[in-house]
Structure 1
């Protein structure tokens, strides 16, 4: 199958290239004016046109993100092919997957398989990214292993969030929205020169309201947002050759959590109540127990929700040395997570959870790079990180007779990396690419294990895991024509190992995962720039993939744990098109396809192992089954796009836009069921006088009120699990004004 896929992929790219040559000939006759906008990106740590970067890359501008309803980082899954972002089991912990590579867990102590960067600063723990999506200049998503360009090494890819920089001209503006369920959002900024050689920008956003769910027993509402963030940036030209950028971001999130629905009749633990299957979309249930209230610091009667707070500080220094460019990035992140969720979806305390974390991360990155325009472009860099994550996880589960269980831990991480990325122009058309990275990392976790809170605290045990790896990338970029490029690469990426920190008496580490990625693609602008057509195909050889699995403790029995799959593989591709057939009309399309399977995997069979041992243990007999050939758990395809039309009428500037995304179904191992695929549609209409500084708009999200589910689980022991639903249709109005 692999050889057939690679052969067919090569044929597809050959036909694509032939089509490009034809299109260039046809385009010579057409008198055309509009062209697809060229976006300058910094994906390779220097300013380039996105079309000149020989990697699979999606770029979306800040205005487009607002138009497509991207309000939190989770929403980018609807605008980027072959990408999913899940809030695991309705929690505030996002997990990223690109081309099928990514984790599924709700703890906050392990590194992401996809690197998340805000203004070049790595966010190693994704819980810290929930307040990042405001005052955005653009979003860059790179697919495939990254390590020769960035501070952290990842197997899945990288997401770069670039915020708006201070401006020389004095500017200010705001956007205000009001929508369904009394939800509102206000975002604003001021920017300009503060003193000679000193520019500043201050931006803030707040989101409130929007409770769309209700308690089946009390009718109390759930789902209000209560989020505020503020960011300040200063740019100081310290001299003719040195520029200093300082930034500080503060965020708080006291929003309600997501309520769960029951997918089948459910009898509570003591048998006193049997719930019917939930038929209403918005229905849920919860109740905070006195014991959980005490450990979480919440008042009785509190709803599921978050009380998170974060602070990001960073200093970026750029120095022109004449013969080279020097960049320094110093960053500090502090984040406190306090989150209570009710996963049984009832007023009985049978699957309630409370997460608590204090995260502190200090990092330093240095890069030295050649001047632009040289035949040889080189860059060398070094990265150091020192991280501390203290926290834990309280649970109140049906199977534990609703006695609180606690797993506390303290984790430290020290990482050091050296990396280089180089390109050499061999001919006028051919560039050769080579990059290399060495990384050393130590992770240490100390825990007293999992215990019921009415039992004595056990002795502290310390675990550690080390990473010492060499990774890299080799590739080529070949200009087929002036406006079309073919590229190909082979890359090796590594993602850190780590520790399972929930429901475990043993925190023995799981191993790092390794991906060898083969990729080829084409980037092209056709028909005098009216059509942009980009495509890529890939094959991943995956070693020690990190997955949710099982292990057995001889004394306590079954434990949920992150484990490693020895061998697996993934292959697929993406196509992205932007077409302007007539002035004012822009049509964007994207399609992603991927397919994967385990090729070597003997996994523990939980049901068979339970049956082979005494009910109360000890669990001495472990039974496994061969899961080789089983498909990996991700949607095979997604299809998305948008259609937008701009026109003038009677002195008014008008814009109508709709965007959509279709996602294939996905098998959920947590619930042994299939999450159905779905379509989501959004729409926008905006208008404003041609000579005015304001615009008004109408918007609709999930226009056709599609029911869809993000995750399912069986924590409450039901034969058919509970589910975390997506929100239905919402509509609203928007006012935008600039000064």
Structure 2
């Protein structure tokens, strides 16, 4: 299969270079860079008219670039990273260096995730959203005047395909390496006059690419399915009602860890050598952990998650304005077992459990677009409960089972407005304001060994009452070029460190003042699109992983606040069609940051200054001002695609790539090396036919790279979460 795909890819690329002599006629819509209508500012606009740093990726393009879960968008968007923390199912998003690194599921994300305008306040719920997608919009920078939630990093908008007037349907089946199978289908059309519907389903199975070093047992099979139904009701010309329901279930295997060095197990009876192949791993659930998680003694690391989303969106044309209402309810159950030591010994085994319910209501009133002033005012309410916690077995606790339960409640209210005033034919003024009030509480009996009686429950509280906003200008240099500048204030909620609830004192909200200038342009008769932005962030109370000391309990790993830090950088995005059918896309992101005021606790010095058994009254700190922030400084990506017609067939050859810089990994006190990733696709179908076949390769050059490293058992025993090597496959899609 590998030789077949590599041979086909080579032929495709050779044909691409010779195609001008062979082509019969240029394919439609490949002569210029097409604009895309987006809703990033809560109204329909051409993407080039939006004075924000914005990346837009179409649904077909997502498939071509191998974006299967939302984590994969880091490979197609500049200055963005998405990590599954320590190989688990909890994604963490970072844009322009702003974002968290934690594996608990109770805190707000610095990046807002929206599916058809509905916010997903907990990122664990986003793993099944990427199917039947119309497009993806990624906004960089603080967002609070346009959306129900307030974020410091940016926003990711997932827009699914809407019901259609005419009857349509389609199915695609994909088979690849390690017997991985993915099937997706939809049917859409008018049910009765004034009522349209769409039903989409997806299932993914197989793909186990790792194996147990001791038993040979395979790990990595997908077992996930989702279904989404949408109804569009038009009771009159002035009212549209969109109803949506999504159900997802994920029983997939987790990711196995790889030993980076010799690993002596607890007690020294066995020392594992460093793993020499990246497919090697190990695991073994203990009887105690199996009992509390409801799993068998043969359970593999993996998930048993289930979620449901319901939403109702109503748009009413009032004549003088439009009224939008979004009512949504989400329910999600997390059950996830991970083995972070990568051996059959229970030295870093974790079981996460959560039961999440989130109810939200958003109302917006906006102008109809007539006149010089475009205005929008809105209100948002959210009520959330998140009951959860996790069980752990760690080497440092003599492998005794430990439980950390909690119950969290969140109630938030936001009022926001966003306005654009056309001062002249070329100059627009932008002004937005937001007020948000939020209350969070967490009740916990603390972290305890399972054989110790549960202690008294304590309730911790934190609140938020903050203004944020945006001021900006947009100036049209010509009909095809615009420059913009803005200053924005973004706020992210405070919260609680739940992976160590001995003392769940809250951390404070973080605040970002963002300065940005940018350019959007279409040049050379719309054959070249060049967009760019420069930014500077003034960061207050940045939330980071750190240390605190409890007088009686001693050292605690906690999320803490850094008083002052800063980040600066920029992005460039380019799409070029130099000849008919050839499309070249490029993007580059650069960022650099440092702490400007930060006295951090020195754990080793504090331990040495206090009695071994406490109390810990003397706290020793280090001045870390000037220390660089830890994220990749740059990423570079792009794609080259050629479409042509020959002998009554349509052909497409495409390759896409992404390079990411190295990053220091604090969890293991080591550097994760930078890497290149290359993918390739070759698609063919009879001209005007309703089917197409694609050969594809992901990680074409079999690059080894790691997402995270784990130093829970000490820097001398690091483990790493590897990513799959080269995979190849074929996809057949049929529309009817």
Normalising by structure 1, report the TM-score: 0.95
Q: Which residue number corresponds to residue 303 of structure 1?
A: 300
Q: Provide the rounded CA distance (Å) in 2 between the counterparts of 1:182 and 1:592.
A: 36
Q: Which of 289, 292, 296 matches 2:289?
A: 292
Deviation at 1:718, TM superposition (A): 4.7
Deviation at 1:405, TM superposition (A): 0.6
Q: Which residue number corresponds to residue 239 of structure 1?
A: 236
- 1:60 matched to 2:35: no
Q: Provide the rounded CA distance (Å) in 1 between the counterparts of 2:164 and 2:80.
A: 33
Deviation at 1:612, TM superposition (A): 2.4
| Equivalent pair of 2:84/2:90 in contact (CA under 8 Å) | yes
Q: Which residue number corresponds to residue 11 of structure 1?
A: none
Q: Provide the rounded CA distance (Å) in 1 between the counterparts of 2:577 and 2:433.
A: 40
Deviation at 1:175, TM superposition (A): 1.1
- 1:542 matched to 2:526: no
Which secondary structure state, in structure 2, belongs to the residue aligned with residue 238 of structure 1?
Answer: strand
Q: Which of 512, 515, 519 matches 2:512?
A: 515
Which secondary structure state, in structure 2, belongs to the residue aligned with residue 74 of structure 1?
Answer: helix
- 1:476 matched to 2:473: yes
Q: Which of 257, 274, 280 matches 1:277?
A: 274
Can you list the C-alpha shifts for 1:245-288, whole angstroms capped at 9, x where unaligned?
00000000000000001111111111110010111110000000
Q: Provide the rounded CA distance (Å) in 2 between the counterparts of 1:115 and 1:45.
A: 15
| Equivalent pair of 2:30/2:581 in contact (CA under 8 Å) | no
- 1:716 matched to 2:713: yes
Q: Which residue number corresponds to residue 383 of structure 1?
A: 380
Q: Which of 681, 694, 712 matches 1:684?
A: 681
Q: Which residue number corresponds to residue 5 of structure 2?
A: none
Can you list the C-alpha shifts for 1:10-61, whole angstroms capped at 9, x where unaligned?
xxxxxxxxxxxxxxxxxxxxxx992101100000000000000000000000
Deviation at 1:671, TM superposition (A): 1.1
Q: Which residue number corresponds to residue 437 of structure 2?
A: 440
> Which structure 2 residues correspond to residues 117-132 of structure 1 after superposition, within 5 A?
117-132=114-129
Q: Which residue number corresponds to residue 22 of structure 1?
A: none
Q: Which residue number corresponds to residue 112 of structure 1?
A: 109
- 1:661 matched to 2:658: yes
Deviation at 1:609, TM superposition (A): 1.7
Deviation at 1:620, TM superposition (A): 2.4
Q: Which residue number corresponds to residue 426 of structure 1?
A: 423
Detail structure 1 runs of 4+ shifted over 4 Å in the superposition: none
Can you list the C-alpha shifts for 1:647-670, whole angstroms capped at 9, x where unaligned?
111111000000000000001111
Q: Provide the rounded CA distance (Å) in 1 between the counterparts of 2:35 and 2:279.
A: 43
Deviation at 1:104, TM superposition (A): 0.4
Q: Which residue number corresponds to residue 309 of structure 2?
A: 312
Can you list the C-alpha shifts for 1:534-578, whole angstroms capped at 9, x where unaligned?
000000000000001111122222211100000000000000000
> Which structure 2 residues correspond to residues 246-257 of structure 1 after superposition, within 5 A?
246-257=243-254
Q: Which of 451, 460, 464 matches 1:463?
A: 460
Q: Provide the rounded CA distance (Å) in 1 between the counterparts of 2:41 and 2:31.
A: 28
Q: Which residue number corresponds to residue 6 of structure 1?
A: none
Can you list the C-alpha shifts for 1:71-112, whole angstroms capped at 9, x where unaligned?
000000000000000000001000000000000000000000
Q: Provide the rounded CA distance (Å) in 1 between the counterparts of 2:623 and 2:86.
A: 28
Q: Which residue number corresponds to residue 618 of structure 1?
A: 615
Mean Cα deviation higher: 552-561 or 168-177? 552-561
Q: Which of 258, 261, 266 matches 1:264?
A: 261
> Which structure 2 residues correspond to residues 90-101 of structure 1 after superposition, within 5 A?
90-101=87-98
Which secondary structure state, in structure 1, belongs to the residue aligned with residue 503 of structure 2?
Answer: coil
Can you list the C-alpha shifts for 1:574-627, whole angstroms capped at 9, x where unaligned?
000000000000000000000000000011111222222333333222211111
Deviation at 1:504, TM superposition (A): 3.2
- 1:725 matched to 2:722: yes
Can you list the C-alpha shifts for 1:194-244, whole angstroms capped at 9, x where unaligned?
011000000010010000000000010000000000000000001111110
Which secondary structure state, in structure 2, belongs to the residue aligned with residue 505 of structure 1?
Answer: helix
| Equivalent pair of 2:669/2:715 in contact (CA under 8 Å) | no
Q: Provide the rounded CA distance (Å) in 2 between the counterparts of 1:440 and 1:424.
A: 28
Q: Provide the rounded CA distance (Å) in 2 between the counterparts of 1:616 and 1:494.
A: 40
> Which structure 2 residues correspond to residues 29-178 of structure 1 after superposition, within 5 A?
34-178=31-175
Q: Provide the rounded CA distance (Å) in 1 between the counterparts of 2:713 and 2:349.
A: 9
Deviation at 1:374, TM superposition (A): 2.2
Q: Which runs of 5+ in 1 are unaligned?
A: 1-31
| Equivalent pair of 1:398/1:717 in contact (CA under 8 Å) | no
Q: Which residue number corresponds to residue 649 of structure 1?
A: 646
Q: CA RMSD in A?
A: 0.9
Which secondary structure state, in structure 1, belongs to the residue aligned with residue 574 of structure 2?
Answer: strand
Which secondary structure state, in structure 1, belongs to the residue aligned with residue 225 of structure 2?
Answer: strand
Can you list the C-alpha shifts for 1:310-348, whole angstroms capped at 9, x where unaligned?
000000000000000000000000000000000000000
Q: Provide the rounded CA distance (Å) in 2 between the counterparts of 1:163 and 1:663.
A: 29
Which secondary structure state, in structure 2, belongs to the residue aligned with residue 355 of structure 1?
Answer: strand
Normalising by structure 2, report the TM-score: 0.96
Q: Which residue number corresponds to residue 696 of structure 2?
A: 699
Q: Which residue number corresponds to residue 16 of structure 1?
A: none
| Equivalent pair of 2:444/2:501 in contact (CA under 8 Å) | no
Q: Provide the rounded CA distance (Å) in 1 between the counterparts of 2:631 and 2:717.
A: 21
